[in-house]
Amino acid sequence: MLTITLKFLSIGWVGGALLVGLLLNGEQLYGWVGFKKRSEQEEMARLLDLMFIVIAPERLKLFYLLYLLGLFGLAILFFAPSVGGSVFFGFLFVTLGWTLPRRTLTIMHRRRIKKFVIQMVDGLSLMSNGLRSGLNVPQALQIVTEELPNPISQEFGLVLSQNKLGVTLEDAMSNLSIRMPADDIEMFTTSVNILKETGGNLAETFDTISVTIRERIKVESKISAMVSQGVLQGVIVVLMPFALAAVLYAVDPERISPMFTTIPGWALLLVMMTLQFLGGFAIWKIVQIKV
């Protein structure tokens, strides 16, 4: 018992000290790692700002540090009392999970864009009716801001705020398409900017864009239903080895323990994780169909 406790302490002190030194003094000790860590934090801060989520940079930095330390601690939990396995897989987990928070925020931002595009169907109808009743574009945007929920209310509200602070409506619309990169949003902002300069019937244009978006959503829904079976199969294929390992560990832990305590076992685990990643990535690319 004392030996296991000492091994746990040695793993924690050695691995934890190396990881903390790597994270806190990365720019001095490991220039590339320090640069990657800073770039990940900056990208996360940018994505949070795009989603109107306010988090202090110090709290974001602390969260990221605790997250990476948690990944290292997870490896210690799985592979202790093996010091070598815990340290090796600790750094492996940190390396594999380095970009996970940023990727999660990227997925959240894409879902926000998708929700915005869906809301544009109702928003453009409101704007079209407002323009036909004699309102101008900023006033029509104000109606959408008041009547519809987030994210379209936040984004159009920011457009109006920028316009009130002296930014031209054309530039504010261009900023919207930069914050929310999507073909439908680009089509909307470009039509507003062009028709304000050249003249034209914005109400009819908004109706046409609304119909286009509605038909595109119908097609995407059909494709999503058709590929849902492939997505489910991919999830099952990726999770099956981990579920099988858990069952084997519960039934006969002595037989499967060499997989986590010996060098050949670590090598097989590394190969397995690599193949799992490649297989999951291949399935994900196959089921991604863009309209």
Domain boundaries, the chain: 1-98, 117-216
| pLDDT, position 49 | 93
| pLDDT, position 24 | 60
| pLDDT, position 86 | 75
State the average pLDDT for the chain: 83
Would you state the structure tokens that stand for residue 103, as one six-digit string?
A: 């990727």
User: By the 8 A CB rule, do 210 and 192 touch?
Assistant: no
* pLDDT tens per residue, range 85-113: 677 778 888 888 888 999 999 999 999 99
Q: How many CA atoms lie within 13 A of 287 on its CB side?
A: 17
* Helix intervals (H) in 148-262: 152-164, 169-179, 183-198, 202-251, 253-256, 258-261
Short-list 21, 61, 71, 58, CA closest to 41: 61
| pLDDT, position 2 | 46
* pLDDT tens per residue, range 71-84: 888 888 877 666 66
pTM, to two decimals: 0.76
Model confidence at 274: pLDDT above 70: yes
Backbone φ, ψ for residue 290 (5° rounding): -95, 140
Short-list 153, 157, 151, CA closest to 172: 157
Stronger pLDDT, 30 or 161, i.e. the higher one:
161
User: By the 8 A CB rule, do 128 and 206 touch?
Assistant: yes
Q: Helix 152-164 crosses helix 137-147 at what angle (to 10 degrees)?
A: 140
- Within 8 A by CB and 6+ apart from 150, the residues are 52
CA distances from 153 to 2, 23, 50, 96 (A): 61, 39, 14, 37
Model confidence at 176: pLDDT above 90: yes
Please give the single-letter amino acid code of residue 43. E
Distance CA 60, CA 38 (A): 11
Tally Cβ neighbours within 10 Å of residue 86. 26
DSSP reduced 3-state for 135: coil
Indicate the fold that domain 117-216 takes in CATH.
Answer: Receptor-associated Protein (1.20.81)
